[in-house]
A and B are shown apart, each in its own frame.
Chain A
Protein backbone atom coordinates (compact mmCIF):
# COMPACT_ATOMS: atom_id res chain seq x y z
CA UNK A 1 0.00 0.00 0.00
CA UNK A 2 0.99 3.65 -0.49
CA UNK A 3 1.42 5.75 2.62
CA UNK A 4 2.32 9.36 3.24
CA UNK A 5 4.50 9.75 6.33
CA UNK A 6 4.79 13.12 8.06
CA UNK A 7 7.60 13.06 10.62
CA UNK A 8 7.46 15.87 13.17
CA UNK A 9 10.99 15.39 14.43
CA UNK A 10 12.59 15.25 10.99
CA UNK A 11 10.16 17.89 9.72
CA UNK A 12 9.72 15.73 6.63
CA UNK A 13 6.91 14.42 4.45
CA UNK A 14 7.49 11.40 2.22
CA UNK A 15 5.59 8.80 0.22
CA UNK A 16 6.45 5.17 0.85
CA UNK A 17 5.29 1.77 -0.31
CA UNK A 18 4.47 -0.41 2.70
CA UNK A 19 4.15 -4.18 2.41
CA UNK A 20 2.72 -4.84 5.88
CA UNK A 21 -0.65 -4.39 7.57
CA UNK A 22 -0.32 -2.83 11.04
CA UNK A 23 1.26 0.21 12.58
CA UNK A 24 3.55 -2.08 14.58
CA UNK A 25 4.98 -3.49 11.33
CA UNK A 26 5.38 0.00 9.87
CA UNK A 27 7.36 1.23 12.89
CA UNK A 28 9.56 -1.85 12.71
CA UNK A 29 10.24 -1.14 9.02
CA UNK A 30 11.07 2.49 9.81
CA UNK A 31 13.25 1.41 12.77
CA UNK A 32 11.36 3.68 15.16
CA UNK A 33 10.99 2.72 18.83
CA UNK A 34 7.23 3.01 19.60
CA UNK A 35 8.14 4.20 23.09
CA UNK A 36 9.43 7.47 21.59
CA UNK A 37 6.48 8.45 19.38
CA UNK A 38 2.72 8.87 19.10
CA UNK A 39 1.10 8.23 15.71
CA UNK A 40 -2.01 9.90 14.35
CA UNK A 41 -4.16 9.51 11.22
CA UNK A 42 -6.58 12.38 10.56
CA UNK A 43 -6.14 13.49 14.19
CA UNK A 44 -7.07 10.01 15.44
CA UNK A 45 -4.52 8.36 17.77
CA UNK A 46 -3.37 5.00 16.40
CA UNK A 47 -2.20 2.07 18.51
CA UNK A 48 0.34 -0.50 17.40
CA UNK A 49 -2.21 -3.16 16.45
CA UNK A 50 -4.31 -0.77 14.31
CA UNK A 51 -4.47 -1.65 10.62
CA UNK A 52 -3.27 0.84 8.03
CA UNK A 53 -5.02 1.48 4.71
CA UNK A 54 -3.87 2.39 1.23
CA UNK A 55 -3.30 6.16 0.84
CA UNK A 56 -3.32 6.80 4.59
CA UNK A 57 -1.58 9.96 5.75
CA UNK A 58 0.30 9.05 8.92
CA UNK A 59 1.78 11.65 11.27
CA UNK A 60 4.57 10.59 13.62
CA UNK A 61 4.77 12.89 16.65
CA UNK A 62 7.82 12.87 18.89
CA UNK A 63 7.33 12.08 22.57
CA UNK A 64 10.79 13.32 23.45
CA UNK A 65 11.05 17.08 23.53
CA UNK A 66 14.64 17.68 22.72
CA UNK A 67 15.49 19.94 25.60
Chain B
Protein backbone atom coordinates (compact mmCIF):
# COMPACT_ATOMS: atom_id res chain seq x y z
CA UNK B 1 0.00 0.00 0.00
CA UNK B 2 1.32 3.43 -0.95
CA UNK B 3 1.11 6.78 0.81
CA UNK B 4 -1.90 8.83 -0.25
CA UNK B 5 0.24 11.96 -0.49
CA UNK B 6 3.42 10.78 -2.26
CA UNK B 7 3.88 7.27 -3.63
CA UNK B 8 6.26 5.93 -1.00
CA UNK B 9 5.42 2.77 0.89
CA UNK B 10 2.87 3.39 3.64
CA UNK B 11 3.72 2.67 7.28
CA UNK B 12 0.17 3.12 8.60
CA UNK B 13 -3.37 2.98 7.28
CA UNK B 14 -5.58 5.55 8.94
CA UNK B 15 -9.31 6.01 8.43
CA UNK B 16 -8.67 8.89 6.04
CA UNK B 17 -5.90 7.14 4.10
CA UNK B 18 -2.41 5.65 4.23
CA UNK B 19 0.78 7.56 5.08
CA UNK B 20 4.50 6.94 4.49
CA UNK B 21 7.14 7.50 7.18
CA UNK B 22 7.73 11.20 6.52
CA UNK B 23 4.08 12.10 6.06
CA UNK B 24 3.11 10.15 9.18
CA UNK B 25 5.74 11.94 11.30
CA UNK B 26 4.49 15.31 10.02
CA UNK B 27 0.86 14.33 10.59
CA UNK B 28 1.56 13.08 14.13
CA UNK B 29 3.62 16.10 15.24
CA UNK B 30 1.09 18.48 13.70
CA UNK B 31 -1.73 16.77 15.60
CA UNK B 32 0.13 17.14 18.92
CA UNK B 33 0.98 20.81 18.27
CA UNK B 34 -2.62 21.56 17.24
CA UNK B 35 -3.87 19.95 20.47
CA UNK B 36 -1.52 22.16 22.51
CA UNK B 37 -2.71 25.27 20.65
CA UNK B 38 -6.43 24.44 20.56
CA UNK B 39 -6.68 23.71 24.28
CA UNK B 40 -4.00 26.27 25.27
CA UNK B 41 -2.02 23.62 27.11
CA UNK B 42 1.16 25.72 27.25
CA UNK B 43 1.52 29.45 27.91
CA UNK B 44 4.60 31.57 27.35
CA UNK B 45 5.33 32.13 31.03
CA UNK B 46 4.93 28.47 32.03
CA UNK B 47 7.56 26.42 33.78
CA UNK B 48 6.87 22.91 32.53
CA UNK B 49 7.33 19.66 34.38
CA UNK B 50 6.98 16.62 32.11
CA UNK B 51 5.95 13.55 34.09
CA UNK B 52 8.11 10.78 32.68
CA UNK B 53 8.59 7.07 33.11
CA UNK B 54 10.93 6.22 30.24
CA UNK B 55 8.16 4.50 28.29
CA UNK B 56 7.11 5.41 24.76
CA UNK B 57 4.40 7.90 25.73
CA UNK B 58 6.44 9.99 28.13
CA UNK B 59 9.54 10.07 25.89
CA UNK B 60 7.37 11.15 22.96
CA UNK B 61 5.65 13.91 24.90
CA UNK B 62 8.94 15.08 26.40
CA UNK B 63 10.58 15.29 22.97
CA UNK B 64 7.58 17.01 21.36
CA UNK B 65 7.21 19.51 24.20
CA UNK B 66 10.77 20.65 23.62
CA UNK B 67 10.20 20.68 19.85
CA UNK B 68 6.99 22.72 20.28
CA UNK B 69 8.80 25.36 22.36
CA UNK B 70 11.48 25.67 19.69
CA UNK B 71 9.01 25.70 16.76
CA UNK B 72 6.74 28.33 18.31
CA UNK B 73 9.67 30.33 19.70
CA UNK B 74 9.17 30.08 23.46
CA UNK B 75 12.82 30.70 24.45
CA UNK B 76 12.06 31.51 28.09
CA UNK B 77 9.80 28.57 28.89
CA UNK B 78 11.69 26.11 31.05
CA UNK B 79 11.18 22.35 30.82
CA UNK B 80 12.31 19.61 33.16
CA UNK B 81 11.48 15.92 33.46
CA UNK B 82 10.25 14.34 36.69
CA UNK B 83 10.09 10.58 37.24
CA UNK B 84 8.74 8.50 40.10
CA UNK B 85 10.53 5.30 41.06
CA UNK B 86 7.70 3.30 42.61
CA UNK B 87 9.96 0.44 43.66
CA UNK B 88 8.78 -2.31 41.31
CA UNK B 89 11.53 -4.89 40.95
CA UNK B 90 12.73 -5.82 37.44
CA UNK B 91 10.56 -3.11 35.88
CA UNK B 92 11.11 0.51 36.73
CA UNK B 93 14.91 0.37 36.86
CA UNK B 94 14.93 -0.57 33.16
CA UNK B 95 12.68 2.29 32.01
CA UNK B 96 14.62 4.75 34.17
CA UNK B 97 17.84 3.77 32.41
CA UNK B 98 16.21 4.57 29.03
CA UNK B 99 14.95 7.84 30.47
CA UNK B 100 18.33 8.96 31.83
CA UNK B 101 19.99 8.36 28.47
CA UNK B 102 17.18 10.10 26.57
CA UNK B 103 17.25 13.19 28.80
CA UNK B 104 21.04 13.36 28.53
CA UNK B 105 20.87 13.23 24.72
CA UNK B 106 18.06 15.80 24.60
CA UNK B 107 19.74 18.03 27.22
CA UNK B 108 16.65 18.10 29.45
CA UNK B 109 17.14 18.20 33.26
CA UNK B 110 15.77 15.08 34.98
CA UNK B 111 14.74 14.65 38.62
CA UNK B 112 13.92 11.22 40.03
CA UNK B 113 11.91 10.83 43.23
CA UNK B 114 10.97 7.59 44.89
CA UNK B 115 8.34 5.99 47.07
CA UNK B 116 11.17 4.66 49.22
CA UNK B 117 12.48 8.13 50.06
CA UNK B 118 9.04 9.70 50.51
CA UNK B 119 7.02 6.91 52.12
CA UNK B 120 9.87 4.71 53.44
CA UNK B 121 8.55 1.77 51.44
CA UNK B 122 8.50 0.45 47.89
CA UNK B 123 5.30 -0.50 46.08
CA UNK B 124 6.42 -4.14 46.18
CA UNK B 125 6.68 -3.95 49.99
CA UNK B 126 3.51 -1.91 50.48
CA UNK B 127 1.10 -3.77 48.22
CA UNK B 128 0.68 -7.03 50.19
CA UNK B 129 0.16 -5.17 53.47
CA UNK B 130 -2.19 -2.46 52.21
CA UNK B 131 -4.10 -4.96 50.10
CA UNK B 132 -4.62 -7.16 53.19
CA UNK B 133 -6.09 -4.24 55.15
CA UNK B 134 -8.07 -2.51 52.41
CA UNK B 135 -8.30 -4.86 49.41
CA UNK B 136 -6.75 -2.10 47.28
CA UNK B 137 -5.18 -3.19 43.98
CA UNK B 138 -1.52 -2.27 43.30
CA UNK B 139 -2.58 0.21 40.59
CA UNK B 140 -4.75 2.07 43.15
CA UNK B 141 -1.85 2.41 45.59
CA UNK B 142 0.63 3.28 42.85
CA UNK B 143 -1.72 5.90 41.35
CA UNK B 144 -2.38 7.71 44.63
CA UNK B 145 1.31 7.88 45.55
CA UNK B 146 2.46 8.81 42.05
CA UNK B 147 -0.05 11.67 41.65
CA UNK B 148 0.87 12.91 45.14
CA UNK B 149 4.60 12.90 44.42
CA UNK B 150 4.31 14.47 40.97
CA UNK B 151 2.13 17.31 42.23
CA UNK B 152 4.25 17.97 45.32
CA UNK B 153 7.64 17.87 43.61
CA UNK B 154 6.52 19.71 40.45
CA UNK B 155 5.15 22.51 42.65
CA UNK B 156 8.30 22.56 44.81
CA UNK B 157 10.36 23.11 41.67
CA UNK B 158 8.14 25.99 40.57
CA UNK B 159 6.25 24.21 37.79
CA UNK B 160 3.05 25.80 36.53
CA UNK B 161 2.06 22.83 34.35
CA UNK B 162 2.56 19.08 34.54
CA UNK B 163 2.57 17.53 31.08
CA UNK B 164 1.67 13.84 31.01
CA UNK B 165 1.94 11.25 28.25
CA UNK B 166 -1.68 10.10 28.42
CA UNK B 167 -2.75 9.03 24.93
CA UNK B 168 -6.13 8.54 23.28
CA UNK B 169 -6.33 4.89 24.41
CA UNK B 170 -5.64 5.84 28.05
CA UNK B 171 -8.32 8.50 27.92
CA UNK B 172 -10.93 6.31 26.21
CA UNK B 173 -10.27 3.66 28.88
CA UNK B 174 -10.72 6.08 31.77
CA UNK B 175 -13.96 7.46 30.31
CA UNK B 176 -15.40 3.94 30.06
CA UNK B 177 -14.08 2.97 33.51
CA UNK B 178 -15.76 6.02 35.06
CA UNK B 179 -18.95 5.29 33.19
CA UNK B 180 -19.00 1.64 34.30
CA UNK B 181 -18.48 2.76 37.91
CA UNK B 182 -20.87 5.74 37.68
CA UNK B 183 -18.06 8.13 38.69
CA UNK B 184 -19.65 11.17 37.10
CA UNK B 185 -17.86 13.57 39.44
CA UNK B 186 -14.49 12.21 38.27
CA UNK B 187 -15.62 12.44 34.66
CA UNK B 188 -15.86 16.20 35.07
CA UNK B 189 -12.17 16.36 35.91
CA UNK B 190 -10.70 14.50 32.94
CA UNK B 191 -10.00 15.78 29.42
CA UNK B 192 -7.00 17.47 27.74
CA UNK B 193 -6.62 19.63 30.86
CA UNK B 194 -7.27 17.93 34.17
CA UNK B 195 -6.92 18.61 37.85
CA UNK B 196 -8.43 21.48 39.76
CA UNK B 197 -7.33 24.68 38.01
CA UNK B 198 -8.27 27.19 40.64
CA UNK B 199 -6.52 25.68 43.67
CA UNK B 200 -3.02 27.01 44.37
CA UNK B 201 -1.70 23.72 45.74
CA UNK B 202 -2.47 21.81 42.56
CA UNK B 203 -0.34 22.07 39.46
CA UNK B 204 -2.56 21.69 36.44
CA UNK B 205 -2.03 18.53 34.38
CA UNK B 206 -2.24 18.72 30.58
CA UNK B 207 -2.14 16.03 27.88
CA UNK B 208 -0.71 16.90 24.45
CA UNK B 209 -1.10 13.26 23.22
CA UNK B 210 -4.85 13.36 23.95
CA UNK B 211 -5.80 12.65 20.31
CA UNK B 212 -2.96 10.20 19.57
CA UNK B 213 -3.87 6.50 19.59
CA UNK B 214 -1.36 4.31 21.42
CA UNK B 215 -0.47 2.54 18.17
CA UNK B 216 0.50 5.86 16.55
CA UNK B 217 2.69 6.75 19.54
CA UNK B 218 4.56 3.46 19.33
CA UNK B 219 4.96 3.82 15.56
CA UNK B 220 6.35 7.33 16.05
CA UNK B 221 9.01 6.07 18.48
CA UNK B 222 9.98 3.26 16.07
CA UNK B 223 10.27 5.63 13.12
CA UNK B 224 12.33 8.07 15.20
CA UNK B 225 14.71 5.19 15.94
CA UNK B 226 14.48 5.47 19.72
CA UNK B 227 15.68 2.39 21.52
CA UNK B 228 12.98 1.64 24.09
CA UNK B 229 13.07 -1.70 25.84
CA UNK B 230 9.75 -3.45 26.14
CA UNK B 231 9.00 -3.81 29.80
CA UNK B 232 5.80 -4.88 31.43
CA UNK B 233 4.73 -3.89 34.91
CA UNK B 234 4.18 -7.14 36.84
CA UNK B 235 0.96 -5.67 38.24
CA UNK B 236 -0.51 -4.51 34.93
CA UNK B 237 -2.85 -7.49 34.56
CA UNK B 238 -4.43 -7.03 37.97
CA UNK B 239 -6.36 -3.85 37.28
CA UNK B 240 -9.84 -3.04 36.01
CA UNK B 241 -8.17 -0.92 33.34
CA UNK B 242 -6.55 -3.98 31.76
CA UNK B 243 -9.95 -5.58 31.11
CA UNK B 244 -11.35 -2.33 29.67
CA UNK B 245 -8.24 -1.98 27.50
CA UNK B 246 -8.73 -5.46 26.01
CA UNK B 247 -12.42 -4.81 25.44
CA UNK B 248 -11.75 -1.53 23.62
CA UNK B 249 -9.00 -3.08 21.46
CA UNK B 250 -11.41 -5.83 20.41
CA UNK B 251 -14.08 -3.24 19.62
CA UNK B 252 -11.62 -1.08 17.68
CA UNK B 253 -10.58 -4.04 15.55
CA UNK B 254 -14.20 -4.87 14.73
CA UNK B 255 -15.43 -1.28 14.51
CA UNK B 256 -12.58 1.12 13.60
CA UNK B 257 -13.03 4.54 15.14
CA UNK B 258 -14.54 3.26 18.40
CA UNK B 259 -11.95 4.89 20.68
CA UNK B 260 -12.06 8.20 18.83
CA UNK B 261 -15.85 8.05 19.06
CA UNK B 262 -15.66 7.66 22.85
CA UNK B 263 -13.36 10.69 23.09
CA UNK B 264 -15.56 12.79 20.79
CA UNK B 265 -18.69 11.89 22.75
CA UNK B 266 -16.95 12.77 26.00
CA UNK B 267 -15.71 16.12 24.68
CA UNK B 268 -19.28 16.98 23.65
CA UNK B 269 -20.48 16.20 27.15
CA UNK B 270 -17.51 17.68 29.02
CA UNK B 271 -18.87 21.25 29.32
CA UNK B 272 -22.04 19.89 30.93
CA UNK B 273 -20.09 17.68 33.32
CA UNK B 274 -17.83 20.54 34.36
CA UNK B 275 -20.85 22.79 34.82
CA UNK B 276 -22.43 20.18 37.12
CA UNK B 277 -19.19 20.05 39.10
CA UNK B 278 -19.29 23.81 39.65
CA UNK B 279 -22.65 23.42 41.35
CA UNK B 280 -21.14 21.05 43.89
CA UNK B 281 -17.82 22.63 44.88
CA UNK B 282 -15.52 20.24 46.65
CA UNK B 283 -13.81 21.66 49.74
CA UNK B 284 -10.07 21.30 49.35
CA UNK B 285 -8.33 21.10 52.71
CA UNK B 286 -4.74 20.68 53.74
CA UNK B 287 -3.72 17.28 55.02
CA UNK B 288 -3.11 17.48 58.79
CA UNK B 289 -0.11 15.20 58.42
CA UNK B 290 1.76 16.52 55.35
CA UNK B 291 -0.05 19.80 54.49
CA UNK B 292 -0.57 18.67 50.90
CA UNK B 293 -4.07 19.22 49.41
CA UNK B 294 -6.67 16.70 50.54
CA UNK B 295 -10.43 16.25 50.44
CA UNK B 296 -10.41 14.81 53.97
CA UNK B 297 -8.49 15.57 57.20
CA UNK B 298 -5.72 13.18 56.19
CA UNK B 299 -4.84 12.66 52.53
CA UNK B 300 -4.98 9.20 50.95
CA UNK B 301 -1.21 9.10 50.46
CA UNK B 302 -0.60 9.64 54.18
CA UNK B 303 -3.31 7.15 55.14
CA UNK B 304 -1.55 4.45 53.16
CA UNK B 305 1.83 5.46 54.54
CA UNK B 306 0.40 5.13 58.05
CA UNK B 307 -0.86 1.60 57.30
CA UNK B 308 2.74 0.52 56.76
CA UNK B 309 3.60 1.45 60.35
CA UNK B 310 1.00 -0.83 61.90
What residues of chain A have their CB less than 8 Å away from a CB belonging to chain B? 8-9, 11, 33-36, 38, 40, 44-45, 47-50, 61-67
Report B-chain residues with C-beta under 8 Å of the C-beta of A11.
230
**Supplied contacts A64-B214, A67-B53, A67-B232, 17 more A-B pairs, CB within 8 Å:** A8-B230, A33-B249, A34-B253, A35-B252, A36-B215, A40-B222, A45-B21, A45-B219, A47-B1, A47-B13, A49-B1, A62-B230, A65-B55, A65-B56, A65-B218, A67-B95, A67-B231
Bound: A44/B222 CA distance, A: 10
Beta-carbon nearest neighbor of A9 in chain B? B230
What residues of chain B have their CB less than 8 Å away from a CB belonging to chain A? 1, 9-13, 18, 21, 53, 55-57, 95, 214-215, 218-219, 222-223, 230-233, 236, 245, 249-250, 252-253
Q: Is the CB of B245 within 8 A of A67?
A: no
Q: Is the CB of B230 within 8 A of A35?
A: no
User: Contacts A61-B222, A66-B236; is A45 near B230 (CB within 8 Å)?
Assistant: no
Beta-carbon nearest neighbor of B217 in chain A? A63
User: Contacts A45-B222, A49-B1; is A35 near B236 (CB within 8 Å)?
Assistant: no
Beta-carbon nearest neighbor of B95 in chain A? A67
Report A-chain residues with C-beta under 8 Å of the C-beta of B250.
33
Report B-chain residues with C-beta under 8 Å of the C-beta of A35.
215, 249, 252-253
Bound: A39/B187 CA distance, A: 35
26 A-B Cβ contacts within 8 A?
A: A33-B249, A33-B253, A34-B253, A35-B215, A38-B215, A38-B219, A38-B222, A40-B222, A44-B9, A45-B12, A45-B219, A47-B10, A47-B13, A49-B1, A50-B1, A61-B218, A61-B230, A63-B215, A63-B218, A64-B214, A65-B55, A65-B231, A65-B232, A66-B233, A66-B236, A67-B95
Report A-chain residues with C-beta under 8 Å of the C-beta of B218.
38, 61-63, 65
Bound: A22/B57 CA distance, A: 30
Report A-chain residues with C-beta under 8 Å of the C-beta of B222.
38, 40, 45, 61
Top 4 closest pairs, chain A to chain B, by CB: A66-B232, A45-B11, A66-B236, A65-B55
Beta-carbon nearest neighbor of A37 in chain B? B215
Q: Is the CB of B57 within 8 A of A65?
A: yes
Bound: A62/B10 CA distance, A: 19
Bound: A63/B10 CA distance, A: 18
Bound: A67/B231 CA distance, A: 8
Q: Chain A nearest CB: distance from B280 CB in Å?
A: 33
Bound: A62/B55 CA distance, A: 12
Bound: A8/B218 CA distance, A: 13
